[in-house]
Amino acid sequence: MLRDRGMKHNAIKGNRDDTDIRYVKGMYTKREEGCPFCDPHKDRVLAEDELAFVIQDLYPVTDGHLLVIPKRHAETYFDLVQSEINALNRLLLDRRSESRRKTIQ
């Protein structure tokens, strides 16, 4: 049915993304001068994967306030590709789980 309408299967698969992001890898070398997130101090990085990282906020609003940031410089969240959004969400959920474990102890 989808093929009859000219739609690709990938258009409806949601956030289960296996998009080829090889072109994105080249964009990771570009850094915005003056951007406080492009080259964070390694001692601030609490967790990371190949697409994103978590750092301590220098000016936290609440206890446990962290920043989850893509490794590629992007102007807005909406400039990210789905695999980067998935990476941010995984790190966010991992940190939330860790925070809850610490609260229970």
Of 32-36, 42-46, 83-87, 96-100, where does mean pLDDT reach its minimum?
A: 32-36
Please give the domain boundaries of the chain with CATH numbers for all domains: 19-104 (3.30.428.10)
pLDDT above 80 for 11: no
What per-residue confidence (pLDDT) applies to 5?
Answer: 43
Among 1, 75, 79, which residue's Cα sits nearest to residue 37? 75
Confidence (pTM): 0.68
Read off the pLDDT of residues 61-78 as tens digits, 9 standing for 90 and up. 988 889 999 998 888 999
